A and B are shown apart, each in its own frame.
Chain A
Amino acid sequence: MSTPSYNVIGTRPPRHDGADKVTGRAIYAADFQMNGLLHGAMVRSTHAHAILKRVDTTKAAAFPGVVAVVTADDFPQTPDRIVDLGEGETPVSHLRGNVLAKGKVLYQGHAIAAVAATSLQAAEQAAKLIEVEYEPLPCVLTAVEAMADGAPLLHGGDTNVTAHVHHAMGDSDAAFAGAAVLIEREFTTATVHQGYIEPHAATVLWNNDGRVNVWCSTQGSFVVRDVVSCLLDLPVSQVRVTPTEIGGGFGGKIPVYLEPVAALLSKKSGRPVKLVMSRRDVFEGSGPTPGSMMRVKIGADADGKFIAAQAFLAYEAGAYAGGMVGAGAMCVFAAYDIANQTIDGYDVLVNKPSTAAYRAPGAPNAAFATESVVDEIARELKMDPLELRLRNASREGTRRADGPKFRRVGCVEVIEAMQAHPHYSAPLGEPSHAEAKRGRGVAIGYWFNIGLPSSCVISVNADGTANLIEGSTDIGGTRTSIAMQAAEVMGIPVDQIQPTVVDTDTIGYTGVTGGSRTTYATGWAAHDAAQDVIRQMKLRAAKLWQTEAVDFADGVFRAGERAMTFAELAGKMSETGGPVVGQASVNPRGAGGSFAGVIVDVEVDTGTGKTTVLRFTAVQDAGRAIHPSYVEGQMQGGSVQGIGWALNEEYWMNPEGRMMNASLLDYRMPTILDVPMIDTQIVEVPNPAHPFGVRGVGEANIVSPPAGIANAIRDAIGVRLYHLPMNPPAVAAAIGGQK
């Protein structure tokens, strides 16, 4: 396939929001101010599982400065029903119950009540006066414990298992008989948090005319609008959500926590109310991604061809159904062409916060298991681990056990790029001291690229510039990557287009910034809106020139001898019929998805068990890299988060279900001093399902790092770890157990 020549796509222009962000002028949710603002404080459960016997707000309501106090009883008690408001199918009672607990608390940190006062100090002191009487219940903290007979049940019934997904093709049990190598291992991973640097924050004004205005940090302003209108029993047109700048989300800012509560407080007080989470609230009261237990079995023939595979995945859902195991079950063997597969996944309630998406949710857990087993097979067969992966790689036409056949994908190209990368053949170098050992590991992984609706409107100005509005909150430079696609179509430089993310009244429905969809789907809408602009501009030229056939290429409109640049024609809009406004909405399906892989060198201090990542190379198929710097930024970001997940991050819970490390000090995300420069290599296998070939690149890059690091540690110390995080105590214990 020949590479089309582009003027804008593939370049690296400065981002439109860059100046505001580096100068500190950008307005994030907690920065938002307005006249008469009240400050809110929440009361959160101190128990992981308890019946709420009594919530008495009398003393708090009487505290000086307090204007309103709310509990779950203040929500309209609409009959329960199943809704899909952008987070998957959920009963309204679960959405409502997670926002403010009713009858029972299901995790420590579960919100119970809220206070609004004229100062934050007054709100916090008043919140402490709310009396909550608990009847503690036994708690259950892991999927395995929660699946056991006699486990405490979170939502009654007879089991904590809320869903069992089962995918099968061929006959894996029978096929294992023909395996020359058969490896089956069990893995566990701890609950981890996305760790976005900006805590959740929201301000709501319930206006006198009944309209509800929301300003908040979210990945999906339309999700917030729909959840708020649903929980408050309002028509969606009565709720307007204005997304502020967002300091990271990674999936964790899709769920709605504060907005409905701030709305209730605003309704009661008649004033705008702001709620801001502390870091502790973020850890305890927002959605982490699941801890898990996995069993993976793969059989290969003597040539290394995988002939059968089985997976058992039990993922924590947290306090409510709808965890991440579904995607885990779809991804567990997605990188490989294996004829016989059986996959069982279980979504299991535990007394932890309701889990949320986190960058390729469910896939890093599964890849840790699969890629560790694949590494063992390579060792067993004495085969190069990338050669083994290449031999089994998914390609166009490969069927996944969950049904779909891959269209054109870049799994093979990613592995080949890893093989050819200088890192893969570079010497490991001498250990830095006598007690240090070095090793290298590789791993690959897959993640989807969802579609969902997106809308875009482009208004042309008389000077030839344009304003583009869209509804995807910008986390990774998407204003620019979207505007670049419009600029390419319109034949003008991208700095002539001013992109703005607008509120829910101003643009058509746009799905979440998630699922690696924004540059793909909203970029597609921008492409189509720009085509609409050009179509209208051609008509204007035709009118001017009294002709029917107008061509447009390289930014110039032509008919015979006559020619006008985009800007020249824009200057004649007024006389040819008024403003030109292009618009488009899309809801693409059948997106291609992205494969990615890592090569990792580590040094392990065998005395302390500490792992240092020496060198890290990330390779990913971007389809078509619209703005290569932002693609590389996504690859580096996912790699760093994967390193944290692999080595130190975890919810460290005591037996009563209290998270003991709910601070950035003790949660131990990697700092800049804990990671090497992440080397990146973009592979481009264009996505046939996008006008420019774009594949979403936000997520696949976190899938393989934990497995790659696990394989590197195994290479260094000669012993494999089966649990994440592989922190210094765990590595030291593994080395000690080997002696």
Chain B
Amino acid sequence: MKPFDYVAPTTLDEAVHALAGNPAARVLAGGTDLLAQLKGGRRETPLVVDVKRIPDLLSIRMEEGGLRLGAAVPCIRIATNPDVRAQYPALAEVASLIGGTAIQGRASIGGNLCNAAPSADAVPLLIVLSAVARVAGPAGIREIAVEDFCVAPGKNALGEGEFLVDLFLPKPAAGFKAHYLRFIPRNEMDIAVVGVGVSATVTDGQITTARLALASVAPTPLFVREVTEALVGKAPSAEAIAGAAALAEAAAKPISDMRAPAEYRRHLCGVLSRRALTAVLQ
């Protein structure tokens, strides 16, 4: 690991200033990705900007119309937050899925998003929860829909000098359910071979919203819009679920690598989509 400079700003403005004019600087939240990359020699940086002293990035609060989740809030706080557990139980679950106990005290959902791994466990769920990312930078504040946030493996939509401030999750309607299901060969300490996030609202026996997103089967977490079109307006049924699962399987563009063959990942997309949709629709 090469030496680097370290700053820990306490306001958004200071952070913007620290990052300005230093495109190789890296933002540090929990560090569970960044520090491993630096130590493993997979990334070098002249400057690390620690954002864990900026209050906006460390708060979880209910607002008008939804939940605002600071980008650096560690998973353990998300998983144990009463508002999150009551209104976004699937988010609490995914926060407790990432890493072991020690990692959960550090790792953040915001960092999981910014790291832009195709296998990120939180991102498919954020997509199906219709989360919106709020970012700060030299040009001020702007918003990015989570499904547009990851653009390539390890690359996100943040411009030069920009960083993630928080995520806004709209308040779930009555009858709304969400679920994230991932497959790993072991029961811990593994990267999703396939992850499936689903959400749906059933009103008076009819599906009124439906979203499905996949992890680990494309260069980025993949929002499968066809599933929404296929399910909305239908009654929940095994046939409807099977049809949607087939669409997810068809949408996947997996590769073969040491973690699994492409053909198997595609097969899993169907199996897990069926199971996850069944969990929210029945």
Q: Which of A607, A661, A665, A729 contacts B261, CB < 8 Å? A: A729
* Interface status of A674 (Cβ within 8 A of chain B): yes
* Interface status of B24 (Cβ within 8 A of chain A): no
* Interface status of B232 (Cβ within 8 A of chain A): no
11 A-B contacts (beta carbon < 8 Å): A607-B271, A607-B275, A608-B183, A608-B272, A610-B185, A660-B258, A668-B186, A670-B186, A673-B186, A732-B267, A733-B264
Which of the four size classes fits the interface of chain B? Answer: 20 to 34
- With contacts A608-B183, A666-B259 known, what are 7 further pairs, Cβ within 8 A? A121-B2, A121-B3, A607-B275, A608-B271, A661-B258, A728-B260, A728-B264
Residues of chain B with a CB closer than 8 A to A729's CB: 260-261, 264
Residues of chain A with a CB closer than 8 A to B264's CB: 609, 728-729, 732-733
Q: A729-B264, A732-B267 are in contact. Are A660 and B257 (CB under 8 A)?
A: yes
* Interface status of A142 (Cβ within 8 A of chain B): no
- A690-739 residues at the B interface, CB under 8 angstroms: 727-729, 732-733, 736
Q: Please measure, in the bound complex, the distance between the C-alpha atom of A106 and the C-alpha atom of B86, giving whole angstroms.
A: 59
Which of B61-69, B188-196, B219-227 touches A? B188-196
* Interface status of A652 (Cβ within 8 A of chain B): yes
* Interface status of B173 (Cβ within 8 A of chain A): no
Secondary structure at the B interface, as helix, strand, loop or mixed, is loop
Interface residues of A (CB under 8 A from B): 121, 125, 607-610, 647-648, 652, 660-661, 664-666, 668, 670-671, 673-674, 727-729, 732-733, 736
Residues of chain A with a CB closer than 8 A to B257's CB: 660
Q: Which of B2, B183, B191, B261 contacts A610, CB < 8 Å? A: B183
Residues of chain B with a CB closer than 8 A to A728's CB: 183, 185, 193, 260, 264
Closest chain-A Cβ to B100's Cβ sits at a distance in Å of 10
Question: Are B186 and A674 in touch, CB under 8 angstroms?
Answer: yes
Residues of chain B with a CB closer than 8 A to A610's CB: 183, 185
Q: A607-B275, A661-B258, A729-B260 are in contact. Are A673 and B187 (CB under 8 A)?
A: yes
* Interface status of B91 (Cβ within 8 A of chain A): no
* Interface status of B268 (Cβ within 8 A of chain A): yes
> What residue in chain B is nearest A661 (Cβ atoms)?
B258
Residues of chain B with a CB closer than 8 A to A664's CB: 189
Residues of chain B with a CB closer than 8 A to A671's CB: 186-189
Q: Please measure, in the bound complex, the distance between the C-alpha atom of A673 and the C-alpha atom of B188, giving whole angstroms.
A: 7
Closest chain-B Cβ to A48's Cβ sits at a distance in Å of 16
Nearest 6 interchain pairs by C-beta: A729-B264, A652-B258, A660-B258, A673-B187, A661-B258, A607-B271
Residues of chain A with a CB closer than 8 A to B35's CB: none
Question: Are B1 and A665 in touch, CB under 8 angstroms?
Answer: no
> What residue in chain A is nearest B187 (Cβ atoms)?
A673
Q: Please measure, in the bound complex, the distance between the C-alpha atom of A125 and the C-alpha atom of B191, giving whole angstroms.
A: 30
Question: Are B271 and A665 in touch, CB under 8 angstroms?
Answer: no
Residues of chain A with a CB closer than 8 A to B191's CB: 665-666
Q: Which of B257, B258, B275 has most A Cβ within 10 Å?
A: B258
Residues of chain A with a CB closer than 8 A to B1's CB: 121
Question: Are A668 and B271 in touch, CB under 8 angstroms?
Answer: no
> What residue in chain B is nearest A654 (Cβ atoms)?
B258
Residues of chain B with a CB closer than 8 A to A736's CB: 267
Question: Are B258 and A665 in touch, CB under 8 angstroms?
Answer: no
